[in-house]
A and B are shown apart, each in its own frame.
Chain A
Protein backbone atom coordinates (compact mmCIF):
# COMPACT_ATOMS: atom_id res chain seq x y z
CA UNK A 1 0.00 0.00 0.00
CA UNK A 2 1.37 3.38 -1.00
CA UNK A 3 0.56 6.75 0.53
CA UNK A 4 -0.85 8.83 -2.29
CA UNK A 5 -1.24 12.60 -1.98
CA UNK A 6 -4.39 13.73 -3.75
CA UNK A 7 -4.95 17.09 -5.42
CA UNK A 8 -7.42 18.64 -4.85
CA UNK A 9 -6.75 17.41 -1.35
CA UNK A 10 -10.45 17.71 -0.54
CA UNK A 11 -11.54 15.51 -3.48
CA UNK A 12 -14.15 12.85 -2.78
CA UNK A 13 -13.50 11.20 -6.13
CA UNK A 14 -9.74 10.87 -5.66
CA UNK A 15 -9.97 9.88 -2.03
CA UNK A 16 -12.48 7.18 -2.93
CA UNK A 17 -10.55 5.77 -5.91
CA UNK A 18 -7.23 5.62 -4.06
CA UNK A 19 -8.80 3.82 -1.07
CA UNK A 20 -10.96 1.63 -3.34
CA UNK A 21 -7.85 0.41 -5.14
CA UNK A 22 -6.18 -0.39 -1.81
CA UNK A 23 -3.85 2.52 -1.26
CA UNK A 24 -3.90 5.28 1.36
CA UNK A 25 -5.15 8.67 0.25
CA UNK A 26 -3.40 11.63 1.88
CA UNK A 27 -5.77 14.59 1.84
CA UNK A 28 -6.96 17.55 3.86
CA UNK A 29 -9.15 15.48 6.18
CA UNK A 30 -6.12 13.80 7.76
CA UNK A 31 -4.42 17.11 8.56
CA UNK A 32 -7.61 18.62 9.94
CA UNK A 33 -8.50 15.48 11.93
CA UNK A 34 -5.12 15.59 13.62
CA UNK A 35 -5.78 19.18 14.73
CA UNK A 36 -9.39 18.59 15.73
CA UNK A 37 -8.33 15.66 17.92
CA UNK A 38 -5.31 17.29 19.58
CA UNK A 39 -5.78 19.24 22.83
CA UNK A 40 -4.34 22.75 22.91
CA UNK A 41 -5.73 26.23 22.47
CA UNK A 42 -9.20 26.73 21.10
CA UNK A 43 -9.18 28.08 17.53
CA UNK A 44 -12.41 27.31 15.73
CA UNK A 45 -13.43 26.36 13.16
CA UNK A 46 -10.48 24.21 11.99
CA UNK A 47 -8.24 24.25 15.06
CA UNK A 48 -5.60 25.89 12.91
CA UNK A 49 -4.03 28.22 15.47
CA UNK A 50 -1.83 31.29 14.92
CA UNK A 51 1.08 28.87 15.47
CA UNK A 52 0.31 27.08 12.19
CA UNK A 53 1.28 30.02 9.95
CA UNK A 54 4.52 30.08 11.97
CA UNK A 55 5.07 26.36 11.30
CA UNK A 56 4.33 27.15 7.66
CA UNK A 57 7.53 29.24 7.57
CA UNK A 58 9.25 25.95 6.79
CA UNK A 59 7.56 26.05 3.37
CA UNK A 60 7.08 29.74 2.65
CA UNK A 61 8.87 32.90 3.77
CA UNK A 62 7.43 35.40 6.22
CA UNK A 63 6.36 37.81 3.46
CA UNK A 64 4.01 35.11 2.13
CA UNK A 65 0.44 35.70 3.42
CA UNK A 66 -0.52 33.97 6.67
CA UNK A 67 -3.34 32.04 4.95
CA UNK A 68 -0.81 30.39 2.62
CA UNK A 69 1.54 29.51 5.47
CA UNK A 70 -1.32 28.17 7.61
CA UNK A 71 -2.50 25.94 4.78
CA UNK A 72 1.07 24.81 4.09
CA UNK A 73 1.35 23.74 7.73
CA UNK A 74 -1.41 21.26 6.88
CA UNK A 75 -0.23 20.18 3.42
CA UNK A 76 3.55 20.32 3.78
CA UNK A 77 3.87 17.30 6.11
CA UNK A 78 1.40 15.29 4.00
CA UNK A 79 3.39 15.91 0.81
CA UNK A 80 6.62 15.04 2.61
CA UNK A 81 5.03 11.79 3.69
CA UNK A 82 3.64 10.91 0.25
CA UNK A 83 5.06 8.14 -1.95
CA UNK A 84 3.01 9.11 -4.99
CA UNK A 85 0.54 11.78 -6.08
CA UNK A 86 -2.51 12.21 -8.29
CA UNK A 87 -3.14 15.76 -9.48
CA UNK A 88 -6.36 16.91 -11.11
CA UNK A 89 -5.47 20.23 -12.68
CA UNK A 90 -8.80 21.83 -13.53
CA UNK A 91 -10.04 21.93 -9.92
CA UNK A 92 -11.35 25.48 -10.27
CA UNK A 93 -14.14 25.09 -7.77
CA UNK A 94 -12.48 23.43 -4.80
CA UNK A 95 -13.03 25.81 -1.89
CA UNK A 96 -11.92 26.28 1.71
CA UNK A 97 -8.75 24.33 2.33
CA UNK A 98 -8.10 24.40 -1.44
CA UNK A 99 -9.48 27.90 -1.88
CA UNK A 100 -6.19 29.79 -2.21
CA UNK A 101 -4.52 29.77 -5.64
CA UNK A 102 -1.09 30.73 -4.27
CA UNK A 103 -1.11 27.80 -1.84
CA UNK A 104 -2.22 25.49 -4.62
CA UNK A 105 0.66 26.60 -6.85
CA UNK A 106 3.10 25.88 -4.04
CA UNK A 107 1.49 22.51 -3.28
CA UNK A 108 1.82 21.42 -6.92
CA UNK A 109 5.41 22.64 -7.02
CA UNK A 110 6.29 20.74 -3.85
CA UNK A 111 4.89 17.57 -5.40
CA UNK A 112 7.19 18.09 -8.43
CA UNK A 113 10.15 18.74 -6.15
CA UNK A 114 9.61 15.42 -4.39
CA UNK A 115 10.08 13.55 -7.70
CA UNK A 116 7.56 10.89 -6.67
CA UNK A 117 5.42 9.06 -9.23
CA UNK A 118 2.69 11.52 -10.20
CA UNK A 119 -0.37 11.19 -12.40
CA UNK A 120 -1.62 14.41 -13.99
CA UNK A 121 -5.13 14.62 -15.39
CA UNK A 122 -8.30 16.68 -15.64
CA UNK A 123 -11.82 15.99 -14.40
CA UNK A 124 -13.89 13.89 -16.83
CA UNK A 125 -16.65 15.78 -18.66
CA UNK A 126 -18.30 12.79 -20.37
CA UNK A 127 -18.93 9.13 -19.62
CA UNK A 128 -16.20 8.20 -22.10
CA UNK A 129 -13.72 10.43 -20.31
CA UNK A 130 -14.89 8.97 -17.01
CA UNK A 131 -13.98 5.50 -18.25
CA UNK A 132 -10.48 6.65 -19.25
CA UNK A 133 -10.09 8.64 -16.00
CA UNK A 134 -10.87 5.65 -13.80
CA UNK A 135 -8.75 3.31 -15.93
CA UNK A 136 -5.77 5.68 -15.79
CA UNK A 137 -5.96 6.00 -12.01
CA UNK A 138 -6.37 2.23 -11.67
CA UNK A 139 -3.33 1.60 -13.85
CA UNK A 140 -1.26 4.24 -12.04
CA UNK A 141 -2.10 2.82 -8.62
CA UNK A 142 -1.36 -0.72 -9.85
CA UNK A 143 2.08 0.44 -10.94
CA UNK A 144 2.78 1.47 -7.34
CA UNK A 145 2.53 -2.16 -6.23
CA UNK A 146 0.41 -3.77 -3.54
CA UNK A 147 -2.62 -5.97 -4.12
CA UNK A 148 -5.01 -4.94 -6.86
Chain B
Protein backbone atom coordinates (compact mmCIF):
# COMPACT_ATOMS: atom_id res chain seq x y z
CA UNK B 1 0.00 0.00 0.00
CA UNK B 2 1.59 3.26 -1.09
CA UNK B 3 0.94 6.48 0.77
CA UNK B 4 -1.52 8.86 -0.92
CA UNK B 5 -0.16 11.48 -3.31
CA UNK B 6 -0.38 14.86 -1.60
CA UNK B 7 -1.94 17.47 -3.85
CA UNK B 8 -1.72 21.06 -2.63
CA UNK B 9 -4.90 22.98 -3.39
CA UNK B 10 -4.61 26.66 -4.29
CA UNK B 11 -8.09 27.97 -4.79
CA UNK B 12 -10.72 30.63 -4.42
CA UNK B 13 -14.39 29.76 -4.31
CA UNK B 14 -14.91 25.96 -4.42
CA UNK B 15 -16.32 25.80 -0.88
CA UNK B 16 -18.84 28.50 -1.82
CA UNK B 17 -19.79 26.85 -5.10
CA UNK B 18 -20.57 23.56 -3.39
CA UNK B 19 -17.81 21.71 -5.28
CA UNK B 20 -15.04 21.26 -2.70
CA UNK B 21 -16.28 17.76 -1.95
CA UNK B 22 -16.14 16.93 -5.68
CA UNK B 23 -12.48 17.94 -5.76
CA UNK B 24 -11.75 15.77 -2.75
CA UNK B 25 -13.69 12.84 -4.14
CA UNK B 26 -11.77 12.96 -7.44
CA UNK B 27 -8.50 12.96 -5.49
CA UNK B 28 -9.59 10.04 -3.30
CA UNK B 29 -10.57 8.02 -6.37
CA UNK B 30 -6.92 8.05 -7.51
CA UNK B 31 -5.50 7.48 -4.03
CA UNK B 32 -4.51 11.09 -3.53
CA UNK B 33 -5.44 13.69 -0.94
CA UNK B 34 -5.82 17.41 -1.32
CA UNK B 35 -4.53 19.69 1.40
CA UNK B 36 -4.14 23.40 2.04
CA UNK B 37 -0.53 24.49 2.68
CA UNK B 38 -0.29 25.88 6.21
CA UNK B 39 0.97 29.42 6.69
CA UNK B 40 1.08 32.21 9.23
CA UNK B 41 -0.68 35.51 8.67
CA UNK B 42 2.70 37.28 8.55
CA UNK B 43 3.85 34.87 5.80
CA UNK B 44 0.71 35.60 3.79
CA UNK B 45 1.37 39.34 3.93
CA UNK B 46 5.05 39.18 3.07
CA UNK B 47 4.68 36.54 0.33
CA UNK B 48 1.79 38.35 -1.29
CA UNK B 49 3.70 41.62 -1.32
CA UNK B 50 6.87 39.95 -2.60
CA UNK B 51 4.99 38.24 -5.45
CA UNK B 52 3.75 41.65 -6.56
CA UNK B 53 0.35 40.82 -8.06
CA UNK B 54 -1.84 43.29 -6.21
CA UNK B 55 -5.22 41.54 -6.22
CA UNK B 56 -8.10 42.54 -3.95
CA UNK B 57 -9.58 39.16 -3.00
CA UNK B 58 -7.90 37.89 0.12
CA UNK B 59 -8.44 34.22 -0.77
CA UNK B 60 -6.38 34.90 -3.89
CA UNK B 61 -3.71 36.54 -1.70
CA UNK B 62 -3.74 33.34 0.32
CA UNK B 63 -3.37 31.24 -2.85
CA UNK B 64 -0.39 33.35 -3.93
CA UNK B 65 1.28 32.94 -0.53
CA UNK B 66 0.66 29.20 -0.60
CA UNK B 67 2.18 28.93 -4.08
CA UNK B 68 5.28 30.74 -2.84
CA UNK B 69 5.57 28.36 0.11
CA UNK B 70 5.44 25.40 -2.29
CA UNK B 71 8.06 26.83 -4.64
CA UNK B 72 10.34 27.83 -1.78
CA UNK B 73 9.95 24.38 -0.25
CA UNK B 74 8.67 25.49 3.15
CA UNK B 75 5.63 23.29 2.47
CA UNK B 76 6.06 19.93 0.75
CA UNK B 77 3.67 18.52 -1.83
CA UNK B 78 3.71 16.03 -4.70
CA UNK B 79 1.51 18.06 -7.06
CA UNK B 80 -0.55 21.24 -7.27
CA UNK B 81 -4.19 21.79 -8.18
CA UNK B 82 -5.21 25.39 -8.88
CA UNK B 83 -8.96 26.01 -8.97
CA UNK B 84 -10.93 29.24 -9.21
CA UNK B 85 -14.41 30.27 -10.25
CA UNK B 86 -15.24 30.25 -13.95
CA UNK B 87 -15.85 33.81 -15.27
CA UNK B 88 -13.83 35.55 -12.54
CA UNK B 89 -11.30 37.76 -14.28
CA UNK B 90 -9.30 38.52 -11.15
CA UNK B 91 -8.98 34.84 -10.34
CA UNK B 92 -8.15 33.93 -13.95
CA UNK B 93 -5.14 36.25 -13.83
CA UNK B 94 -3.95 34.72 -10.56
CA UNK B 95 -4.60 31.17 -11.76
CA UNK B 96 -2.56 31.69 -14.89
CA UNK B 97 0.31 33.47 -13.17
CA UNK B 98 0.54 30.90 -10.37
CA UNK B 99 0.48 28.04 -12.85
CA UNK B 100 3.34 29.63 -14.77
CA UNK B 101 5.25 30.53 -11.60
CA UNK B 102 5.10 27.00 -10.19
CA UNK B 103 5.88 25.40 -13.56
CA UNK B 104 8.95 27.58 -14.08
CA UNK B 105 10.30 27.44 -10.55
CA UNK B 106 9.68 23.90 -9.38
CA UNK B 107 9.33 20.31 -10.52
CA UNK B 108 5.79 20.09 -9.19
CA UNK B 109 3.20 18.99 -11.75
CA UNK B 110 0.40 21.51 -11.84
CA UNK B 111 -3.05 21.62 -13.33
CA UNK B 112 -5.42 24.56 -13.26
CA UNK B 113 -9.17 24.45 -13.57
CA UNK B 114 -12.05 26.92 -13.51
CA UNK B 115 -15.17 25.40 -12.03
CA UNK B 116 -18.87 26.21 -11.83
CA UNK B 117 -21.43 24.84 -9.40
CA UNK B 118 -21.99 22.05 -11.94
CA UNK B 119 -18.44 20.69 -11.79
CA UNK B 120 -18.39 17.04 -10.72
CA UNK B 121 -15.68 14.69 -9.52
CA UNK B 122 -15.99 12.79 -12.81
CA UNK B 123 -14.87 15.87 -14.74
CA UNK B 124 -11.84 16.26 -12.51
CA UNK B 125 -10.85 12.60 -12.36
CA UNK B 126 -8.51 12.37 -15.38
CA UNK B 127 -6.72 15.57 -14.32
CA UNK B 128 -6.21 14.31 -10.78
CA UNK B 129 -5.10 10.93 -12.10
CA UNK B 130 -2.52 12.62 -14.35
CA UNK B 131 -1.15 14.52 -11.35
CA UNK B 132 -0.77 11.29 -9.40
CA UNK B 133 0.77 9.48 -12.38
CA UNK B 134 3.41 12.18 -12.70
CA UNK B 135 4.09 12.06 -8.96
CA UNK B 136 4.17 8.27 -8.68
CA UNK B 137 5.51 7.08 -12.01
CA UNK B 138 8.38 9.44 -12.81
CA UNK B 139 10.71 6.53 -13.45
CA UNK B 140 8.23 4.89 -15.79
CA UNK B 141 7.63 8.18 -17.62
CA UNK B 142 11.39 8.54 -18.10
CA UNK B 143 11.41 5.37 -20.26
CA UNK B 144 12.75 6.23 -23.73
CA UNK B 145 12.59 2.89 -25.54
CA UNK B 146 9.96 0.29 -26.20
CA UNK B 147 11.30 -3.17 -25.55
CA UNK B 148 9.99 -6.68 -26.17
CA UNK B 149 6.60 -7.34 -27.75
CA UNK B 150 3.92 -5.09 -26.27
CA UNK B 151 0.52 -3.70 -27.17
CA UNK B 152 -1.19 -0.42 -26.35
CA UNK B 153 -4.94 0.17 -26.61
CA UNK B 154 -6.46 3.66 -26.68
CA UNK B 155 -10.20 3.52 -26.05
CA UNK B 156 -11.20 7.04 -27.08
CA UNK B 157 -14.54 8.81 -27.24
CA UNK B 158 -14.71 8.66 -31.06
CA UNK B 159 -12.30 5.92 -32.08
CA UNK B 160 -10.51 2.95 -30.56
CA UNK B 161 -6.90 2.38 -31.54
CA UNK B 162 -4.55 -0.55 -30.91
CA UNK B 163 -0.85 -0.81 -31.68
CA UNK B 164 1.55 -3.75 -31.41
CA UNK B 165 5.22 -2.79 -31.02
CA UNK B 166 8.44 -4.74 -30.99
CA UNK B 167 11.74 -3.19 -29.95
CA UNK B 168 10.86 0.39 -30.91
CA UNK B 169 9.06 -0.59 -34.14
CA UNK B 170 5.32 -0.47 -34.82
CA UNK B 171 4.45 -3.82 -36.38
CA UNK B 172 0.66 -3.79 -36.24
CA UNK B 173 -2.16 -1.25 -35.94
CA UNK B 174 -5.94 -1.30 -35.54
CA UNK B 175 -8.31 1.68 -35.81
CA UNK B 176 -12.10 1.44 -35.46
CA UNK B 177 -14.88 3.88 -34.57
CA UNK B 178 -15.91 3.46 -30.91
CA UNK B 179 -19.37 1.97 -30.62
CA UNK B 180 -19.66 -0.57 -27.81
CA UNK B 181 -16.47 -0.01 -25.81
CA UNK B 182 -15.30 -3.61 -25.33
CA UNK B 183 -16.41 -4.84 -28.76
CA UNK B 184 -14.60 -1.94 -30.43
CA UNK B 185 -11.47 -2.66 -28.43
CA UNK B 186 -11.61 -6.36 -29.35
CA UNK B 187 -11.91 -5.46 -33.01
CA UNK B 188 -9.03 -2.96 -32.95
CA UNK B 189 -6.85 -5.45 -31.08
CA UNK B 190 -7.69 -8.15 -33.61
CA UNK B 191 -6.60 -5.91 -36.49
CA UNK B 192 -3.36 -5.00 -34.76
CA UNK B 193 -2.25 -8.48 -33.81
CA UNK B 194 -3.16 -10.02 -37.17
CA UNK B 195 -1.23 -7.27 -38.98
CA UNK B 196 1.69 -7.94 -36.64
CA UNK B 197 1.38 -11.65 -37.41
CA UNK B 198 1.42 -12.69 -33.78
CA UNK B 199 -0.85 -14.38 -31.28
CA UNK B 200 -2.38 -12.58 -28.31
CA UNK B 201 -0.39 -14.89 -25.98
CA UNK B 202 2.91 -13.79 -27.53
CA UNK B 203 2.60 -10.30 -26.01
CA UNK B 204 4.93 -9.55 -23.10
CA UNK B 205 2.85 -6.70 -21.73
CA UNK B 206 -0.27 -4.68 -22.50
CA UNK B 207 -1.36 -1.14 -21.60
CA UNK B 208 -4.63 0.80 -21.95
CA UNK B 209 -5.52 4.48 -22.01
CA UNK B 210 -8.41 6.75 -23.01
CA UNK B 211 -11.97 7.05 -21.72
CA UNK B 212 -12.56 3.30 -21.72
CA UNK B 213 -9.18 2.42 -20.17
CA UNK B 214 -10.54 0.82 -17.00
CA UNK B 215 -13.19 -1.26 -18.71
CA UNK B 216 -10.92 -2.43 -21.52
CA UNK B 217 -7.94 -2.78 -19.18
CA UNK B 218 -9.86 -5.11 -16.92
CA UNK B 219 -11.19 -7.10 -19.86
CA UNK B 220 -7.77 -7.74 -21.44
CA UNK B 221 -5.83 -7.99 -18.17
CA UNK B 222 -3.70 -4.92 -18.85
CA UNK B 223 -0.40 -4.53 -17.01
CA UNK B 224 -0.74 -0.73 -17.19
CA UNK B 225 -3.91 1.36 -17.10
CA UNK B 226 -3.05 5.04 -17.37
CA UNK B 227 -4.86 8.26 -18.27
CA UNK B 228 -4.32 9.81 -21.68
CA UNK B 229 -2.64 13.06 -20.60
CA UNK B 230 0.64 11.45 -19.57
CA UNK B 231 0.41 8.59 -22.07
CA UNK B 232 -0.24 10.85 -25.06
CA UNK B 233 2.47 13.31 -24.19
CA UNK B 234 4.91 10.44 -23.78
CA UNK B 235 3.83 8.92 -27.09
CA UNK B 236 4.12 12.32 -28.80
CA UNK B 237 7.67 13.12 -27.74
CA UNK B 238 8.71 9.51 -28.45
CA UNK B 239 7.39 9.53 -32.01
CA UNK B 240 8.58 13.08 -32.67
CA UNK B 241 12.09 12.33 -31.41
CA UNK B 242 11.77 15.09 -28.82
CA UNK B 243 12.25 13.15 -25.60
CA UNK B 244 14.77 15.62 -24.24
CA UNK B 245 14.14 19.26 -23.41
CA UNK B 246 10.87 21.18 -23.64
CA UNK B 247 8.00 20.60 -26.04
CA UNK B 248 4.28 21.24 -26.34
CA UNK B 249 1.71 18.61 -27.23
CA UNK B 250 -1.68 19.51 -28.71
CA UNK B 251 -4.33 16.87 -29.16
CA UNK B 252 -7.69 18.02 -30.53
CA UNK B 253 -9.92 15.06 -29.82
CA UNK B 254 -13.44 14.06 -30.66
CA UNK B 255 -14.82 15.16 -27.32
CA UNK B 256 -12.13 17.15 -25.57
CA UNK B 257 -8.80 18.74 -26.26
CA UNK B 258 -5.51 18.45 -24.47
CA UNK B 259 -2.69 20.97 -24.38
CA UNK B 260 0.36 19.83 -22.47
CA UNK B 261 3.66 21.54 -21.60
CA UNK B 262 6.22 18.76 -21.55
CA UNK B 263 9.73 18.77 -20.16
CA UNK B 264 11.99 15.77 -20.82
CA UNK B 265 8.96 13.67 -21.65
CA UNK B 266 7.11 14.48 -18.43
CA UNK B 267 4.09 16.83 -18.42
CA UNK B 268 4.66 19.91 -16.28
CA UNK B 269 1.35 21.64 -16.76
CA UNK B 270 -1.67 20.82 -18.85
CA UNK B 271 -5.25 21.69 -19.67
CA UNK B 272 -7.94 19.40 -20.87
CA UNK B 273 -11.40 19.77 -22.34
CA UNK B 274 -13.44 22.72 -21.26
CA UNK B 275 -14.72 24.11 -24.54
CA UNK B 276 -17.84 23.41 -26.53
CA UNK B 277 -18.09 21.13 -29.52
CA UNK B 278 -17.32 23.91 -32.02
CA UNK B 279 -13.70 23.49 -30.96
CA UNK B 280 -13.53 19.74 -31.34
CA UNK B 281 -12.84 17.11 -33.93
CA UNK B 282 -16.57 16.47 -33.96
CA UNK B 283 -17.18 19.80 -35.71
CA UNK B 284 -14.74 18.85 -38.46
CA UNK B 285 -16.53 15.52 -38.90
CA UNK B 286 -19.81 17.40 -39.30
CA UNK B 287 -18.21 19.80 -41.75
CA UNK B 288 -16.90 16.92 -43.87
CA UNK B 289 -20.33 15.32 -43.86
CA UNK B 290 -22.03 18.58 -44.90
CA UNK B 291 -19.47 19.10 -47.67
CA UNK B 292 -20.04 15.54 -48.85
CA UNK B 293 -16.44 14.40 -48.41
CA UNK B 294 -14.78 11.78 -46.27
CA UNK B 295 -13.02 13.19 -43.19
CA UNK B 296 -9.70 12.12 -44.77
CA UNK B 297 -10.42 14.44 -47.71
CA UNK B 298 -11.24 17.48 -45.59
CA UNK B 299 -7.57 18.40 -45.00
CA UNK B 300 -6.50 18.58 -48.64
CA UNK B 301 -9.77 20.39 -49.49
CA UNK B 302 -9.06 23.00 -46.81
CA UNK B 303 -5.50 23.48 -48.05
CA UNK B 304 -6.94 24.55 -51.41
CA UNK B 305 -9.16 27.22 -49.83
CA UNK B 306 -8.80 30.51 -48.00
CA UNK B 307 -10.27 30.65 -44.51
CA UNK B 308 -10.54 34.44 -44.35
CA UNK B 309 -13.16 34.41 -47.12
CA UNK B 310 -15.74 32.79 -44.81
CA UNK B 311 -16.68 34.24 -41.41
CA UNK B 312 -16.72 31.34 -38.95
CA UNK B 313 -15.52 31.54 -35.37
CA UNK B 314 -17.90 29.97 -32.90
CA UNK B 315 -17.09 27.55 -30.12
CA UNK B 316 -20.65 26.28 -30.36
CA UNK B 317 -21.19 23.47 -32.85
CA UNK B 318 -24.71 24.71 -33.65
CA UNK B 319 -23.63 28.28 -34.44
CA UNK B 320 -20.59 26.95 -36.30
CA UNK B 321 -22.81 24.79 -38.47
CA UNK B 322 -25.07 27.79 -39.05
CA UNK B 323 -22.10 29.79 -40.40
CA UNK B 324 -21.17 26.83 -42.56
CA UNK B 325 -24.66 26.49 -44.04
CA UNK B 326 -24.92 30.26 -44.59
CA UNK B 327 -21.57 30.35 -46.35
CA UNK B 328 -22.52 27.55 -48.72
CA UNK B 329 -25.93 29.13 -49.34
CA UNK B 330 -24.31 32.43 -50.32
CA UNK B 331 -22.01 30.78 -52.80
CA UNK B 332 -18.76 30.23 -50.90
CA UNK B 333 -16.59 27.48 -52.32
CA UNK B 334 -16.32 24.14 -50.54
CA UNK B 335 -12.56 24.69 -50.28
CA UNK B 336 -12.98 28.02 -48.50
CA UNK B 337 -15.61 26.60 -46.16
CA UNK B 338 -13.34 23.66 -45.29
CA UNK B 339 -10.46 26.03 -44.63
CA UNK B 340 -12.68 28.26 -42.47
CA UNK B 341 -13.86 25.27 -40.42
CA UNK B 342 -10.26 24.23 -39.75
CA UNK B 343 -9.29 27.79 -38.86
CA UNK B 344 -12.29 28.14 -36.57
CA UNK B 345 -11.42 25.02 -34.56
CA UNK B 346 -7.76 26.02 -34.34
CA UNK B 347 -8.72 29.53 -33.25
CA UNK B 348 -11.04 28.35 -30.46
CA UNK B 349 -8.39 26.00 -29.10
CA UNK B 350 -5.78 28.76 -29.39
CA UNK B 351 -7.91 31.35 -27.61
CA UNK B 352 -9.54 29.18 -24.98
CA UNK B 353 -6.91 26.61 -24.09
CA UNK B 354 -3.44 27.38 -25.33
CA UNK B 355 -3.30 30.47 -23.14
CA UNK B 356 -3.20 28.12 -20.17
CA UNK B 357 0.06 26.40 -21.11
CA UNK B 358 3.44 27.76 -22.12
CA UNK B 359 4.02 27.12 -25.79
CA UNK B 360 7.57 25.91 -26.29
CA UNK B 361 8.91 24.44 -29.51
CA UNK B 362 8.67 21.86 -30.89
CA UNK B 363 4.87 22.01 -30.94
CA UNK B 364 3.70 18.48 -31.63
CA UNK B 365 0.19 17.85 -32.91
CA UNK B 366 -1.24 14.39 -32.36
CA UNK B 367 -4.50 12.44 -32.43
CA UNK B 368 -6.80 11.72 -35.35
CA UNK B 369 -7.30 15.41 -36.14
CA UNK B 370 -3.56 15.89 -36.70
CA UNK B 371 -4.08 14.08 -40.01
CA UNK B 372 -6.33 16.94 -41.18
CA UNK B 373 -3.71 18.98 -42.96
CA UNK B 374 -5.83 22.14 -43.02
CA UNK B 375 -6.20 22.10 -39.22
CA UNK B 376 -2.47 21.65 -38.66
CA UNK B 377 -1.77 24.50 -41.09
CA UNK B 378 -4.27 26.80 -39.33
CA UNK B 379 -2.76 26.02 -35.91
CA UNK B 380 0.74 26.67 -37.24
CA UNK B 381 -0.39 30.03 -38.59
CA UNK B 382 -1.89 31.01 -35.25
CA UNK B 383 1.14 29.89 -33.23
CA UNK B 384 3.55 31.24 -35.82
CA UNK B 385 5.54 28.05 -35.80
CA UNK B 386 6.01 24.94 -37.91
CA UNK B 387 3.92 22.21 -36.35
CA UNK B 388 5.41 18.75 -35.93
CA UNK B 389 3.10 15.87 -36.83
CA UNK B 390 5.00 12.65 -36.10
CA UNK B 391 4.36 9.44 -38.06
CA UNK B 392 1.48 7.37 -36.66
CA UNK B 393 0.25 10.49 -34.83
CA UNK B 394 -3.32 9.17 -34.92
CA UNK B 395 -2.19 6.20 -32.78
CA UNK B 396 -0.52 8.39 -30.19
CA UNK B 397 -2.25 7.00 -27.09
CA UNK B 398 -1.80 3.40 -28.19
CA UNK B 399 1.89 3.97 -28.97
CA UNK B 400 2.48 5.72 -25.63
CA UNK B 401 0.70 2.88 -23.90
CA UNK B 402 2.73 0.18 -25.70
CA UNK B 403 5.94 2.08 -24.90
CA UNK B 404 5.19 2.53 -21.21
CA UNK B 405 3.80 -0.96 -20.73
CA UNK B 406 7.17 -2.39 -21.74
CA UNK B 407 8.31 -1.18 -18.32
CA UNK B 408 6.06 -3.90 -16.93
CA UNK B 409 7.63 -6.84 -18.74
CA UNK B 410 8.53 -9.30 -16.06
CA UNK B 411 12.21 -10.09 -15.58
CA UNK B 412 13.34 -6.90 -17.33
Q: Do chains A and B touch in the complex (CB under 8 A)?
A: yes
Which residues of A line the B interface, CB within 8 A?
42-46, 48-54, 63-71, 74, 92-102
B297 at the interface (CB under 8 A from A): no
Query: For the complex, what is the distance from the CA of A98 to the CA of B57, rounded to whole Å?
Result: 8
B44 at the interface (CB under 8 A from A): yes
Q: Are A71 and B16 in contact (CB-based, < 8 A)? A: yes
Q: Are B16 and A43 in contact (CB-based, < 8 A)? A: no
Q: Which residues of B contact A64 (CB under 8 A)?
A: 87
Summed over the interface, the residue pairs from A and B with CB atoms below 8 Å come to a total of 103
Total number of B residues with any Cβ neighbor in A under 8 Å: 33
Which 9 residue pairs across A and B have the least CB separation, nearest first? A67-B13, A99-B59, A65-B85, A101-B56, A70-B16, A66-B17, A50-B18, A53-B117, A101-B57
Q: Are A67 and B85 in contact (CB-based, < 8 A)? A: yes
Which residues of B line the A interface, CB within 8 A?
12-21, 24, 41, 44-45, 55-62, 84-88, 90-91, 115-118
Q: Are B44 and A66 in contact (CB-based, < 8 A)? A: no
Expressed in whole angstroms, the minimum distance between the Cβ of B65 and any Cβ of chain A is 11
Query: For the complex, what is the distance from the CA of A95 to the CA of B13, rounded to whole Å?
Result: 11
| 25 A-B residue pairings within 8 Å (CB atoms) | A42-B21, A43-B20, A44-B20, A50-B117, A53-B16, A53-B18, A54-B117, A66-B17, A66-B18, A66-B19, A66-B115, A67-B13, A67-B14, A68-B13, A68-B88, A70-B18, A71-B16, A92-B58, A97-B16, A98-B58, A99-B57, A99-B62, A100-B59, A101-B57, A102-B90
Expressed in whole angstroms, the minimum distance between the Cβ of A105 and any Cβ of chain B is 9
Q: Are B118 and A48 in contact (CB-based, < 8 A)? A: no
Query: For the complex, what is the distance from the CA of A71 to the CA of B12, rounded to whole Å?
Result: 12
Query: For the complex, what is the distance from the CA of A100 to the CA of B86, rounded to whole Å?
Result: 14
Query: For the complex, what is the distance from the CA of A9 to the CA of B12, rounded to whole Å?
Result: 18
Query: For the complex, what is the distance from the CA of A92 to the CA of B41, rounded to whole Å?
Result: 12
Expressed in whole angstroms, the minimum distance between the Cβ of B37 and any Cβ of chain A is 14
Q: Which residues of B contact A48 (CB under 8 A)?
A: 15-18
Q: Are B13 and A66 in contact (CB-based, < 8 A)? A: yes
Q: Which residue of B lies closest to A70 (CB)?
A: B16
Query: For the complex, what is the distance from the CA of A93 to the CA of B18, rounded to whole Å?
Result: 23
Query: For the complex, what is the distance from the CA of A43 to the CA of B16, rounded to whole Å?
Result: 10
Q: Which residue of A lies closest to B85 (CB)?
A: A65
Q: Which residues of B contact A69 (CB under 8 A)?
A: 117
Q: Which residues of A contact B60 (CB under 8 A)?
A: 99
Query: For the complex, what is the distance from the CA of A23 to the CA of B5, rounded to whole Å?
Result: 49
Q: Are B21 and A67 in contact (CB-based, < 8 A)? A: no
Q: Are A102 and B87 in contact (CB-based, < 8 A)? A: no
Query: For the complex, what is the distance from the CA of A75 to the CA of B13, rounded to whole Å?
Result: 15
Instruction: Choose from B55, B85, B117 the contact partner of A101 (Cβ within 8 Å).
Output: B55
Query: Which among A42, A54, A65, A100 has the greatest number of chain B C-beta atoms within 10 A?
Result: A65
Q: Which residue of A lies closest to B55 (CB)?
A: A101
Q: Are B21 and A43 in contact (CB-based, < 8 A)? A: yes
Expressed in whole angstroms, the minimum distance between the Cβ of B114 and any Cβ of chain A is 9
Query: Which among A63, A69, A99 has the greatest number of chain B C-beta atoms within 10 A?
Result: A99
